[in-house]
Amino acid sequence: MLHGYSKPCLDLEKERDRMIKDCSFILNKLKMYTTKSLSELNLLDIGCGNGFYVFGLSNYFHSIYGLDPSIDMLKSARNYNKNYFKKKNIRFYLGCVENNIFSKNFDIILFSYSLHLTINPYNSLLIISKNIQNNGILIIIEPNKEFCSDRLKPDSGEFDKGYYDNKQRLIKKTRIDIYKFAKNHIILYELLDIKWFIIIIRISG
């Protein structure tokens, strides 16, 4: 279950340069913490939306699975793949982390701006950690102060302060849950700036 989910707000063709830049940052970090070539590994993106990270990372991994609870988001992602990106190592699935539909394990699992949307972020991390290979990697990317939605931009005519304040409460609570979960694992990297919060965790045991 999620705290509401919006329709796609990013035009991936127009956002391609930013996609490449953001994914290059993530890839450079991952290469520091993986012993195998990324081309041998599989990745699951939870809350994949219309495929921003899935498409941006698809050239570097053996296979990528995108999971999202929004039919509109997945329709957009599949249309982008069919008509623009044309990647064969990608699969998109409808679902959410609480109702984990995967029986297989993944080398890397990514929460892309989605963990704070789950009803219980700590429980979501416990659930999905069972689908990470031993010593596999969990990447969590969360928003901080910048957003793509006009409802969350203070300089926009559509800015909704109540919505913004609630979003900030969810984000702060989620960080607490992340660090609670990470106590039993190994934090490899973390970054907090105005754009995002990124933490990379090696799953132990």
Side-by-side strand order, sheet with 196-202? 90-94, 63-68, 42-46, 106-112, 132-143, 196-202, 186-192
* pLDDT (0 to 100) of residue 9: 54
The Cα 6–Cα 93 span in angstroms is 17
3-class secondary-structure state, position 202 = strand
| pLDDT tens, per residue, the chain with 205 residues | 444 444 445 678 778 888 899 999 999 999 999 989 999 999 999 999 999 999 999 999 999 999 999 999 999 999 999 999 999 999 999 999 888 778 899 999 999 999 999 999 999 999 999 999 989 999 999 999 888 787 888 888 888 999 889 999 999 999 999 999 999 999 999 999 999 999 999 998 6
All structural domains of the chain with their residue ranges: 16-202
AA letter at 179: Y
Tokens of 79: 């249309």
Handedness of CA 181, 182, 185, 191 (dihedral sign): positive
- Residue among 66, 69, 63, 37 at smallest CA distance from 51: 66
* pLDDT (0 to 100) of residue 2: 47
CATH 3.40.50.150 fits 16-202, yes or no: yes
* pLDDT (0 to 100) of residue 100: 77
